Amino acid sequence: MKTFRFAIKQIIPLLFSYTFVGIAFGILIHEAGYSVLWAFLSGVFIYAGAMQIVMVSLIISDVPLLMIAMMTFFINARHIFYGIGFVAKFRKMGWKYPYMVLTLTDETYSVFCSIEYPENIDEQKADFYIALICHMLWVLSCTMGALIGEILPFDMTGIEFSATAFFVVVCVNQWHQFESHIPAITGFASAIGFYILLGADYFLLPALSVSLITLTIMKERIDMQTGGVKYDN
């Protein structure tokens, strides 16, 4: 119960973004003519906000399946980079391992990146609860959106900014936490550079790849700055 409460506390900052993006998707797919069941199934099996919203427009415009597959890959390829940080951690989790792998979203990734476990908390259990509750929350929001989205009493336009704000908070925390600022500066520089060079639609993967390569090349220097980090998550 203590672990469960701890998990809930870590999720609170994401509550708005999850709920409202989920509802937005629900409304969209409902307007496209699909029943609640489709919203529910998308939430359960896809569980990727941006992709689900793109999927609705792809379905409506009758895009060929191969094209959809390729778009899905490119929109979600950033997840490949998230996974690298959690191989060591998740593969120790037994039957929960595949679930942890398949439910790592932008948001849960940033929670796991910034979380600090108190001593009396079972880390694996907490991680699993966080993954599970977030997933449930997402499925619920998608379903709710399709059910009641249109009668939502408030204009919540802009609430999705809470996700951006959360990622900024994680960046600030990492800036204080990390001894070397090279990773942050590398990410920033490559993202801005490729954004200018390639534009909004194509900068993400080159930026991630170049960061990975740069950090690999600069390993010695970063190791020096951090006084020889121990890499055991």
Residues 184-223 binding other proteins (CB under 8 A) are 184, 186-188, 190-192, 195, 200-201, 203-204, 207-208, 211-212, 215-216, 219, 222
User: Which of positions 104-123 make contact with other proteins (CB under 8 A)?
Assistant: 104, 106, 109-110, 113
Using CB under 8 A, pick the residue from 36, 101, 137, 140 that binds other proteins: 101
Q: According to CB under 8 A, which one of 84, 116, 151, 153 is a site residue for other proteins?
A: 84
159 binds other proteins (CB under 8 A): yes
Min dist CB 72 to other proteins, Å, is 4
Cα gap 172→233, rounded to integer Å: 20
List, in sequence order, the alpha helices (H) in 12-86: 15-31, 36-45, 49-60, 65-76, 78-84
What's the min distance (Å) between Cβ of 83 and other proteins? 3
First-last CA distance in the chain: 25
Is residue 85 a contact point for other proteins (CB under 8 A)?
Answer: yes
| C-alpha closest to that of 134 among 156, 112, 110, 107 | 107
| 229: alpha, beta or left? (left if phi > 0; alpha if psi -120 to 50) | beta
Give min distance, CB of 204 to other proteins, in A.
6
The residue (of 4 and 73) whose beta carbon lies closer to other proteins is 73
The rounded Cα 151 to chain-centroid distance in angstroms is 28
The window from 69-77, 119-127, 128-136, 138-146 that contacts other proteins (CB under 8 A) reads 69-77
65 lies in the binding site for other proteins (CB under 8 A): yes
Pick the binder of other proteins from 8, 165, 197, 224 (CB under 8 A): 165
Asked whether position 125 contacts other proteins by CB under 8 A, the answer is no
CB 81 within 8 A of CB 212: yes
62 DSSP 8-state letter = T
Contact string 10-39 vs other proteins (x = CB under 8 A) = --xx--x---------------xxx---x-
Q: Is position 99 an interface residue for other proteins (rule: CB under 8 A)?
A: no
Cα–chain center distance at 204: 14
CA distances from 146 to 29, 54, 93 (A): 7, 16, 34
User: For residue 90, what are the contacts with CB-CB under 8 A and spacing of at least 6?
Assistant: 97, 100, 101
